Amino acid sequence: MAARYCLTRQPCGLFFVNDVANMRASRQTSILLKRQTSPIDKCRSRRAAFSLVELVIVVVIIGVISAVAVPRISNAAKGAKSAALMATLNSVRKAIDVYYAEHNQYPGYTPGTTTPNNTKFIEQLLDYSSATGATNPLGSSTYLYGPYLRPPFPANPFNNLSTVTVKATPAVADPTKGTVGWVAVLSNGAFYVSATTTTLNDIGVVKQDRVDAMLK
C-alpha cells in the first residue's frame, strides 16, 4: 500500500514523532532554565554569610559596649550592697534603742545579770521578752515587750553570717573581722558590721564618717 502523505508531502505518522520529540526537548529546556541561577540569586547567596571584616567589626562593637556597661553594672551592685548594709544597721540600732527604753538595759545579756550573751542578743530582739529580759516566742502577761525585729535576724552581706558577738565594753577586742556577722557592745548599745575597712571600700564606702558609722 502506498503511504499516505499530508500536505507537506511527509508521512502523517512523522508529525506525531516530531511532536513528541519537540515536547521532550522543550521540557528539558524548561528544567534547565529553572536550575540555572540568576546573577541576583548568586549575589544573594554570597551575601548570606558574613565576611571576616564584618565579624571583626561586630566583635569590636560588642567589646566597646561591654567596656562601658560592665563597670556601670558593677558600681550599681556595689551601691546597692552599701545601701542595704546601712539600712540593716539603722534598723537594728533603732530596735536596740527601743529595747533599752523598755528594759533600761541594752540587749545581749543573760536575764537578771549583766553578763554578755550572744544568743540572747538575737532572741531579745526577735522574741517577746519580760521585764528582766527572759524571752519567749509567744507573748503573754509575763512577756509583754517586743518583738523589736521581724525574723530572721539579718545577715552580714559580706559573709552571709547572722551571728552576733556581744562585748561587755568597747575596750574588749573584736573577733577577727569577717568571722562573725555583727558585733554588739552591751555597755553602750553599739552595733556594727564585722568587716574590714578595705571590704567596705570595695563596695564604695570611702568616706571616713560612713566607714565609722558601719564599724562603730
* 5 pLDDT higher than 50: no
Half-sphere exposure of 80 (CA within 13 A, CB side): 6
Give the span between the Cα atoms of 216 and 113, in whole angstroms: 25
User: Which of the four pLDDT bands, split at 50, 70 and 90, describes residue 82?
Assistant: confident
| Structural domain boundaries enclosing 147 | 63-215
Residue with cell 566607714: 211
Specify if 124 maps to a domain: yes
Specify if 208 maps to a domain: yes
Give the span between the Cα atoms of 102 and 145, in whole angstroms: 8
Threshold 0.75, pTM exceeds: no
Q: Which amino acid is at 50?
A: F
* 27 pLDDT higher than 80: no
Specify if 31 maps to a domain: no
Specify if 17 maps to a domain: no
Strand segments, DSSP code E, in 81-181 are: 128-129, 135-136, 164-167
Whether omega before 147 lies within 30 degrees of 0, making that bond cis, reads yes
* 57 pLDDT higher than 60: yes
Q: Which residue has the higher pLDDT, 116 or 30?
A: 116
Note the pLDDT of residue 15: 47
Number of domains in the chain: 1
Note the pLDDT of residue 44: 56
Select from 149, 105, 145, 151 the least CA-distant residue to 128: 145
Specify if 142 maps to a domain: yes
Cell of 26: 522543550
Specify if 29 maps to a domain: no
Specify if 18 maps to a domain: no
Give the span between the Cα atoms of 214 and 192, in whole angstroms: 5
Specify if 185 maps to a domain: yes
Which range has the worst mean pLDDT, 23-27, 136-140, 142-146, 194-198?
23-27
